[in-house]
Amino acid sequence: MNCRQIRKKLSPYIDEQLDSRRQEQVRDHLQSCQNCSTVLHQLEQLEDLLQDDLRLQADAFTLTRIKAAISAKSDQPLPVWSLLQKVLAPSIVFAGLVLGVLLGIQLHNTFKRTPIVEPQTHTSLVDSTFFEPLPVGSITATYVSMNAIQK
């Protein structure tokens, strides 16, 4: 076996989960390969560190206390306010949206019938006494005369 295959089998080798033939193949390879032996040594050190870590161990009654706390919380009825928030909040939002749409339609219909600005008749600025007559042949004079013809 090559180093890649051996390294995949190192963890089962440490835990003695390989059959006797594979166990012997890995042992023979480790005796002849320094790199794989180093990897094995590092894995063994890591396993020792994990076993020595006391934080991973819990007392015997921890799981029982956690289950009891979860059970006590789930047995309590929901408060009335929480139920009202879950039911009434979406209903109020929906009613507000419907009211807003209906109000918008009503306002649209109201202002559609009565114009906001009354049409006014505008007098031409040329007729005003505030301005001097436009020079003949100017672009402005031509525009004003065309506009007057169209009316």
pLDDT tens-digit map of 103-116: 999 888 887 765 55
Residue 45 counted as domain residue: yes
pLDDT for 53 equals 61
Is residue 93 left, alpha or beta, with left meaning phi > 0 and alpha meaning psi from -120 to 50?
alpha
Residue 47 counted as domain residue: yes
> Which ranges of 9-127 does DSSP label H, i.e. alpha helix?
10-14, 20-32, 34-52, 62-75, 80-113
Q: In the chain, how many domains are there?
A: 1
Higher-confidence position of 68 and 136: 68
Helix 20-32 vs helix 34-52: crossing angle, to nearest 10: 110
Residue 80 counted as domain residue: no
Residue 11 counted as domain residue: yes
Residue numbers of the domain that contains 31: 3-56
Which two structure tokens, joined as six digits, stand for 121? 């008749």
pLDDT for 131 equals 60
Task: Tell me the average pLDDT across 18-42.
Answer: 91
Residue 35 counted as domain residue: yes
pLDDT surpasses 60 at 89: yes
Residue 67 counted as domain residue: no
pLDDT surpasses 60 at 120: no
- Banded model confidence at residue 146, pLDDT cuts 50, 70, 90: confident
pLDDT for 88 equals 84
pLDDT for 116 equals 55
Residue 44 counted as domain residue: yes
Task: Tell me the average pLDDT across 135-144.
Answer: 74
Residue 93 counted as domain residue: no
Q: What percent of the chain has pLDDT over 90?
A: 19
